[in-house]
Structure 1
Amino acid sequence: MIDLAIWNLTIPVGTPSKVIDTPRLVGGYSDRYFRSGNTLFFWSPVTGSTTSKSEFPRSELRETFNDGRLRNWTYPEADNALKATLAINQMPSSGRVIIGQIHIYQGKGPLLKVEYLYDAGKKRGDVVAKYRQKPGSDDIAVTIAKDIALDERFSYSVNLSSAGYLKVSAENYSWGQQLSSSWKNKKLYFKAGVYTQDNTGYNDEGAKATFYKLDVGHQKK
């Protein structure tokens, strides 16, 4: 069973998008965009609503404490890890969905996006890490895994050490990079789910994924 006591959930309904708080999520919340049990199911149609700071819809978890307060951390406090095993079940016509993030609290642009990029012709997709070397800089993209089909299970892991070393792994490949110390005092948090990178099409178009495992850890130094 995946622990939901450390997350809240944004779903693509309402203006701005609705947030389901942690206690309600733990209590067994379910709708057409999210279902929990032994696995977690996420659905985010291209016609869904967005948050106030985004043009794209999402069905996505965000780190919290178990009382629902937002959890934000700075990387020197601990070794910080996000691990997931999932399958992508459906993709929008853009071929892009974000399945994990290290975001910055009240800042512009995440530190890291783990993105699945799908080629409809090949019927395969790649896992790409897009990171910012320092706050406000442009994304740098690194391919972490290749040729993953829809409905095929795969795993990824993200680690940001207390020394500021970012490591992303998927399947049999690992990549790492020392980040600028300008991230040191920024408040960060993990996200996971489906953040559909498309906002045009019919209401049955969008991104779907099933998560079989999802873990977060903050190992103190």
Structure 2
Amino acid sequence: MIDLGTWNLSIPVGSPPATIETQQLLKGYDSKYFKSGSSNVTFWAPVTGTKTANAIYPRSELRETWSNGTLHNWYYQDADNYLNAKLKVLQVPSSGRVVIGQIHVYDSTQPLLKLEYQYLEATHMGNIVAKVRYRPSDKKARVITVAENVSLNETFNYVIHLNKAGLLSVTAHGMGWNDRISANWSKQQLYFKAGVYTQDHTGYTSEGGKTMFFNLDADHN
């Protein structure tokens, strides 16, 4: 069971796209973009979905809040910051790419970290890739392959951990990577996101990204 009491949800419908607030999620919100079951939640973002401001791709994605629904932003040096997830990727768009977790930056269009599943048609397997901006001024992210040979519909775990000293680590599918980010990030308010952020915006309404999460837990210890 995933506790939805500290998240809101962006879904790719409406202009601007709708935000489902924390209290509404707790009451048992369901739609074709987000289904909450007794043991899992499913996210769906078709390539034809509407996009948030400054984004070029559609998303069905949770964003951290406080329990009263206000936005939860944090400074990394104040705590040990963890995002733990157990999930499977059910569908990818033509590009093969969906983002399954993020450390985003308040009042910015550029995240610190995107964790992306990349399906390779040639091997019928996927890689889990971290796209990291080491400094807030970086225009391009560095791309690091964290894990390989993850098939569609295969259940796996990931953990994103950013500690007080600025050490960022990502483990996924039993493999891991870590490195230190710039201290310039200490001035930026951050927050976790998770769900499916479809990295494609062309095709039929049946094309898109779909994930199922069995566990999702953000902690600031």
TM-score normalised by structure 2 residue count: 0.98
Match of 1:217 in 2: 219
Determine the C-alpha separation between the residues in 1 that align with 2:178 and 2:122: 31
Deviation, structure 1 residue 53: 1.7
Match of 1:86 in 2: 87
Determine the C-alpha separation between the residues in 2 that align with 1:104 and 1:43: 23
Q: CA RMSD in A?
A: 0.7
> Aligned AA for 2:57?
F
Match of 2:179 in 1: 177
Asked whether the 8 Å contact 1:108–1:136 carries over to 2, the reply is no
The Cα offsets for residues 128-174 of structure 1, whole Å up to 9 and x where unpaired, read as 01101100312001111111111010111100001111000012211
Match of 1:28 in 2: 28
> Aligned AA for 2:117?
Y
Selected match of 1:158 from 157, 160, 177 = 160
Selected match of 1:190 from 176, 192, 200 = 192
List structure 1 runs of 4+ shifted beyond 2 angstroms: none
Deviation, structure 1 residue 13: 0.1
Unpaired stretches in structure 1, ≥5 consecutive residues: none
Determine the C-alpha separation between the residues in 2 that align with 1:148 and 1:174: 14
Asked whether the 8 Å contact 2:55–2:109 carries over to 1, the reply is no
SS in 2 for 1:136: coil
Match of 1:9 in 2: 9
Asked whether the 8 Å contact 2:46–2:198 carries over to 1, the reply is yes
Match of 2:137 in 1: 136
Determine the C-alpha separation between the residues in 2 that align with 1:152 and 1:44: 19
Determine the C-alpha separation between the residues in 2 that align with 1:97 and 1:128: 10
Residues 171-180 or 161-170, more deviating:
171-180
SS in 2 for 1:66: coil
SS in 1 for 2:13: coil
SS in 2 for 1:184: helix
> Aligned AA for 1:72?
N
> Aligned AA for 1:177?
D
Deviation, structure 1 residue 121: 2.6
Determine the C-alpha separation between the residues in 2 that align with 1:80 and 1:133: 17
Deviation, structure 1 residue 185: 1.3
Asked whether the 8 Å contact 1:44–1:194 carries over to 2, the reply is yes
SS in 1 for 2:80: strand
Determine the C-alpha separation between the residues in 1 that align with 2:87 and 2:150: 11
How many positions carry a matched residue from both structures?
Answer: 219
> Aligned AA for 1:143?
T
Task: State the percentage of identical aligned residues.
Answer: 50
> Aligned AA for 2:5?
A
Asked whether the 8 Å contact 1:109–1:136 carries over to 2, the reply is no
